[in-house]
């Protein structure tokens, strides 16, 4: 069974204090790994897709990396507006393009 | 920009009522999905559709049905709502099998009394 585990469940940072969120996965064959951001009461917003180990993608203060067992979302010098829940999801090599989601990391950045 | 819209942001229904949740996407996407999101359980796939009139069960289809009569519209139906179906319902769409990123709507928060 495909599994996605995100850690920590919650993270509190001071503004400017860089850190990383972890997404570890156990799947039969990875087709892609996705990161989303979700604000309270809203739908998830797509951030990145990673397809192969060693791949990296960046967007503003966020950088996602991928290994054969896990992905990291690095947040550099975060601002209060980066506060949100960050979701990781995996897609496996099967006939349908469904995603299996982790439970998310809730990030709070204090000024 | 990809636009996925859902018919209601908030909905309150009584136990036993039939409930329709509508989702519309304006990007000619082939695939559409319905999830529910609950605290501590994350996002769970209810049903999905990869073509008009086609549907596939997700991880938790019990108590739900779906309808896709037009490419842009995907409906989730609760035949007889129960209190354990109180949840946040999220619709998503993705272009096709070669472009598989899913784009989400704003969600419908359903309360069943």
Cβ-contact B81, B16 below 8 angstroms: yes
- Asked if A101 lies within 8 A of B43 by C-beta distance, the reply is yes
Peptide bond into A8 cis (omega under 30): yes
For residue A28, what are the CA distances in angstroms to A31, A33, B40? 10, 13, 25
Cβ contacts (< 8 Å) between A91 and chain B: which residues?
100
Residue B100: band (very low, low, confident or very high) from pLDDT cuts 50, 70, 90: confident
Reduced to 3 states, what is the DSSP secondary structure of residue B93? strand
Question: Which tokens hold the place of A52?
Answer: 């192969």
Cβ contacts (< 8 Å) between B40 and chain A: which residues?
103
Label each residue of A25-66 as H, E or C.
Answer: EECCCEEEEEEEEECCCCCCEEEEEECCCCCEEEECCEEEEE
Q: Which of residues 22-61 of B touch A (CB under 8 A)?
A: 31, 33, 40-45, 48, 50, 56, 58
Residue B98: band (very low, low, confident or very high) from pLDDT cuts 50, 70, 90: low
Q: Does residue B1 surpass a pLDDT of 80?
A: no
> Cα–Cα–Cα angle for B4, B9, B15, nearest 5°?
120
**Closest residue of chain B to A95, computed from CA coordinates:** B97
Q: What pLDDT, on a 0 to 100 scale, did the predictor assign at position A69?
A: 94
- Asked if A43 lies within 8 A of B97 by C-beta distance, the reply is no
Using CA atoms, how far apart are residues A41 and A34, in angstroms rounded to an integer? 20
Question: Which tokens hold the place of B20?
Answer: 């329709």
Using CA atoms, how far apart are residues A7 and A23, in angstroms rounded to an integer? 7
Across the A:B interface, residue pairs with CB atoms under 8 Å apart total 52
Q: What is the pLDDT along chain A (111 residues), one digit of tens a residue?
A: 788 999 999 999 999 999 999 999 998 888 899 999 999 999 999 999 999 999 999 999 999 999 999 999 999 999 999 999 999 999 887 767 688 999 999 999 999
Q: Which of residues 42-81 of A touch B (CB under 8 A)?
A: 42-46, 49
**Closest residue of chain A to B6, computed from CA coordinates:** A43
* Residue of B35, B37, B42 to mutate, testing the A interface (most A Cβ within 10 Å of its Cβ): B42
Question: Which tokens hold the place of A33?
Answer: 């790994």
């Amino acid at each position: 069974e495909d599994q996605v585990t995100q850690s920590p469940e919650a993270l509190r940072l001071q503004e400017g204090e860089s850190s990383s969120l972890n997404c570890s996965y156990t799947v039969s064959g990875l087709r892609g790994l996705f990161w989303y951001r979700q604000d309270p009461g809203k739908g998830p917003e797509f951030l990145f897709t990673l397809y192969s180990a060693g791949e990296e993608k960046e967007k503003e203060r966020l950088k996602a990396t991928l290994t054969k067992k896990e992905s990291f979302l690095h947040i550099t010098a975060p601002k209060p507006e980066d506060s949100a829940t960050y979701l990781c999801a995996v897609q496996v090599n099967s006939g349908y393009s469904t995603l299996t989601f982790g439970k998310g990391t809730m990030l709070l950045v204090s000024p | 920009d990809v636009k996925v819209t859902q018919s209601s942001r908030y909905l309150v229904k009584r136990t036993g009522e039939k409930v329709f949740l509508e989702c519309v996407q304006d990007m000619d996407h082939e695939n559409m999905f319905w999830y529910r999101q609950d605290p501590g359980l994350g996002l769970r796939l209810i049903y999905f559709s990869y073509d008009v009139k086609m549907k596939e069960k997700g991880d938790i289809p019990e108590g739900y049905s779906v309808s896709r009569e037009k490419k842009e519209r995907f409906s989730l139906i609760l035949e007889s709502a129960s209190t354990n179906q109180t949840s946040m319902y999220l619709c998503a769409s993705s272009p096709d099998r070669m472009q598989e990123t899913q784009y989400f709507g704003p969600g419908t928060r359903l309360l069943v009394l």
